[in-house]
């Protein structure tokens, strides 16, 4: 009898586990993960390939996304994520010790603030972040670099960054480090970026960019992205200047007709001879 009871309990236990696994599997959500060629991963909800650019949507409603060069994506993987348990009522939350968490941070605001502090071009800092982490504040490289600007723990500690996953602390630390490297190499951007990637020791060892494919591709990617932004800004400024000049020219050419049409009427009404209006030619 004891053997039969033991066997029945074992069968019931196995059935319970199987049912539990089946229920959890159905409740689990499949999250997409983009695996980059540099070893980083970017979790996202879904993606669209648009030629040379792939857009990774971070939410189901398409309101939040990041664009990554298609050639930088090695592939996509699926990860089963259990759904977040429902939030308990406010009454039960009060009795619990709050868990510290990073608040939603505007990366643009963080970048602008850090760039102003360390006298850097925000476009350059954004290009570095794009190459380092793809704007994923939770990115971790195979070597252990963390956060938006991929700070190694030792570098973060030396810069006074206690939490490398905090966007504000990470970007401030990374911007400070980039500024120090620029000053170290007399504002030679190429050498500074190479040192950011491979370390100052390697740059000094090879008296320039080290002959590493990863480092050279890294520097070229940032310089290309940064120059593309500058060219776009210059074109936009030139177009705006051209439109402003055209508007001024149109306003100046329309002014004589307006003056000549109004003054003779006043002169005729007063009985005086029409005055000749002196209008300066458009400059």
- The predicted-structure confidence for 71-97, as pLDDT tens digits, reads as follows 888 887 765 444 444 444 444 343 333
Q: How far apart are the first and last CA of the chain?
A: 110
Instruction: Report the distance separating Cα 182 and Cα 115, nearest Å.
Output: 13
**The architecture CATH gives domain 107-232:** Orthogonal Bundle (1.10)
Instruction: Report the distance separating Cα 2 and Cα 4, nearest Å.
Output: 6
Cβ-contact 232, 213 below 8 angstroms:
no
Choose the CATH number for 22-82 among 2.30.30, 1.10.3120, 1.10.10, 2.40.350.
2.30.30
Numbered ranges of CATH 1.10.530.10 in the chain: 107-232
Instruction: Report the distance separating Cα 254 and Cα 248, nearest Å.
Output: 10
Interior/surface letters 50-74, b for 16+ CB within 10 angstroms, e for the rest: eeeebebbbeeeeeebbebbeebbe
Numbered ranges of CATH 2.30.30 in the chain: 22-82
- The predicted-structure confidence for 197-217, as pLDDT tens digits, reads as follows 999 999 999 999 999 999 999
**221 CB burial (10 A radius; 0-12, 13-18, 19+):** middle
Instruction: Report the distance separating Cα 35 and Cα 238, nearest Å.
Output: 39
Q: DSSP for 247-260? A: HHHHHHHHHHHHHH
- The predicted-structure confidence for 261-272, as pLDDT tens digits, reads as follows 455 444 444 444
* Greater model confidence, 156 or 18: 156
Q: Among all residues, which ones are annotated catalytic?
A: 132
Residues in the chain, total? 283
Q: Using the 8-state DSSP alphabet, how is residue 210 labeled?
A: -
Tell me which residue of 227, 202, 201, 198 sits closest to 215, measured CA to CA. 198
C-alpha angle with apex 240: 239 to 245, nearest 5 degrees?
Answer: 100
Tell me which residue of 32, 55, 34, 36 sits closest to 132, measured CA to CA. 36
Region 219-234: what's the mean pLDDT? 94
User: Which residue bears the tokens 């696994």?
Assistant: 21
Q: What is the mean pLDDT of the chain?
A: 77
């Amino acid at each position: 009898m004891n053997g039969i009871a033991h066997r029945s309990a074992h069968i019931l236990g196995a059935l319970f586990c199987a049912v539990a696994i089946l229920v959890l599997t159905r409740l689990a959500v499949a999250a997409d993960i983009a695996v980059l060629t540099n070893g980083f991963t970017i979790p996202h909800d879904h993606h669209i390939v648009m030629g040379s650019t792939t857009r990774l949507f971070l939410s189901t409603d398409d309101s939040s996304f990041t664009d990554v060069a298609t050639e930088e994506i090695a592939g996509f993987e699926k990860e089963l994520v259990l759904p977040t348990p429902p939030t308990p009522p406010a009454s039960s939350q009060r009795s619990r010790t709050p868990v510290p968490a990073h608040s939603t941070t505007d990366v643009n605001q963080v970048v602008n603030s850090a760039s102003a502090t360390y006298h850097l071009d925000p476009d350059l800092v954004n290009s570095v972040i794009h190459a380092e982490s793809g704007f994923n504040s939770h990115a971790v490289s195979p070597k252990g670099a963390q956060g938006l600007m991929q700070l190694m723990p030792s570098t973060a500690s030396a810069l006074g960054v206690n939490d490398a996953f905090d966007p504000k602390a990470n970007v401030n630390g990374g911007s400070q480090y980039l500024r120090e490297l620029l000053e170290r190499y007399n504002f030679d951007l190429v050498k500074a970026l190479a040192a950011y990637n491979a370390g100052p020791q390697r740059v000094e060892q090879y008296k320039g960019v080290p002959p590493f494919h990863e480092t050279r591709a890294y520097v070229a990617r940032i310089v290309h992205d940064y120059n593309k932004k500058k060219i776009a800004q210059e074109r936009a400024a030139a177009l705006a200047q051209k439109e402003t000049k055209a508007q001024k020219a149109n306003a100046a050419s329309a002014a004589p007709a307006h003056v000549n049409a109004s003054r003779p009427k006043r002169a005729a009404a007063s009985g005086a001879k029409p005055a000749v209006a002196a209008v300066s030619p458009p400059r």
